Copies of this chain bind each other. A is one copy, B any other.
Amino acid sequence: MEASTRLQKLLAPIAGDMDRMQDVLLEQVRSASPAVRDMTDHVSRFRGKQLRAALVLLSGDATGNTTDEHVRVAAIVEMIHLATLVHDDILDGALVRRRVASVNQRWDNQVAVLLGDFLYARAFALSTALSSRLCSRLLSDTTRDICVGEIEQSTSRYDFDISQEKYERLCGAKTASLYAAACELGARYPGGNEEVGRLMWNFGWELGLAFQIKDDCLDILGDEAEVGKTIGRDVEDGKVTLPVLHVYRNAPDELKARIRDAYTMPGIENRTARLSDVCDLQPGVEFAIQRAEELVRTALGRLASLPPGPARQALEGIGEFVLERRF
């Protein structure tokens, strides 16, 4: 079965809530300003996998903590994710985002910054209307972590001596933190058990980290049409991701120099292709995938203490999807 069809099937039990989530999101970003409306219409077409929103809902279901506010929490998490995507388009100059022209290609950098700010502001506004402040607190701290992770990654560009531990810490901050927050909020919002919240936070963290590692592999080896966004950006942007890191640290000095050259030598048209020419990336990708599998295994192990049922099953399925996905 295609990975995308499998995901759809996995999320079928929460399809109604996902639709309601999307309605809340659209309502919240609606604006009286025609200029803003034009842009939010555009952004809402991104839709994408909406995995983070699904994790809020499923984590709630799987821990028996479902309230009529979960749909709103899911919409808030998804809006924060959308804001990071819009700002990320400025960051790495991505030309294609989920097959829809990215905001800064259609408008300009100025407006993409403002639209991202608008999405953050609307997400926080919605969170202040919830019955507890947990969501506002956790998500403002998570947004900080995402920014710090991205800033540190930006200042670690072209650093081939980065440790795997630091690579994972940065991926964790920039990606896994929102997965973790989504899962914790699902389990805890508004008054759920703290211990289960911690368990689900860890589940989300490992899942998100695996997701990012897989993302980094797809950026090197994926098919642009399938992935739905510009690939090969990491090498272009000087990001030394786990697959490359593994190959680099096991390479003789002469090869190390050629790998660095592929990243930095002026005038190279397609740096990812050049990198593939100078070294065999396959062992690096296999190493990274193994690490992602290990993380998903640990994550799924945590679910064992939850009551069996369709929500827990769907969370397990998402773990497998993260590993199998080609988009």
Contact = CB atoms under 8 A, between A and B. Distances in A.
Contact of A113 (B87, B124, B129): B87
Contact of A109 (B109, B125, B141, B148): B109
Interface stretch (A15-23, A31-39, A245-253): A31-39
A118 B151 CA distance: 10
A120 B118 contact: no
Nearest to A136: B128
A228 B325 CA distance: 52
A273 interface: no
A154 interface: yes
B35 A152 contact: yes
A200 interface: no
Interface residues on A, range: 35 or more
A91 interface: yes
Contacts of A117: 87, 116-117, 120, 143, 146-147
Given A125-B137, A140-B125, A151 B39 contact: yes
A111 B152 CA distance: 10
Nearest to A138: B128
Contacts of A110: 90-92, 150, 154
State the majority secondary structure of interface residues on A.
Answer: helix
Copies in the complex: 2
A118 B147 contact: yes
Nearest to A133: B128
Interface in A111-160: 111, 113-118, 120-122, 124-125, 128-129, 133, 136-137, 140-141, 143-144, 146-148, 150-152, 154-155
Given A128-B137, A128-B140, A140-B128, A151 B111 contact: yes
Contact of A151 (B92, B114, B150, B155): B114
B91 A148 contact: no
B109 A122 contact: no
A148 B133 CA distance: 26
A136 to B, nearest CB: 5
14 contacts: A35-B154, A35-B155, A87-B114, A87-B117, A90-B90, A90-B110, A91-B110, A91-B114, A109-B109, A110-B150, A117-B120, A118-B148, A124-B124, A125-B144
Given A114-B150, A117-B120, A133-B133, 10 more contacts: A33-B152, A35-B151, A35-B155, A90-B90, A90-B110, A91-B114, A110-B154, A113-B116, A114-B147, A115-B147
Instruction: Kindly list the 3 A-B residue pairs having the minimum CB-CB distance in the complex, ordered from nearest.
Output: A121-B143, A125-B140, A118-B147
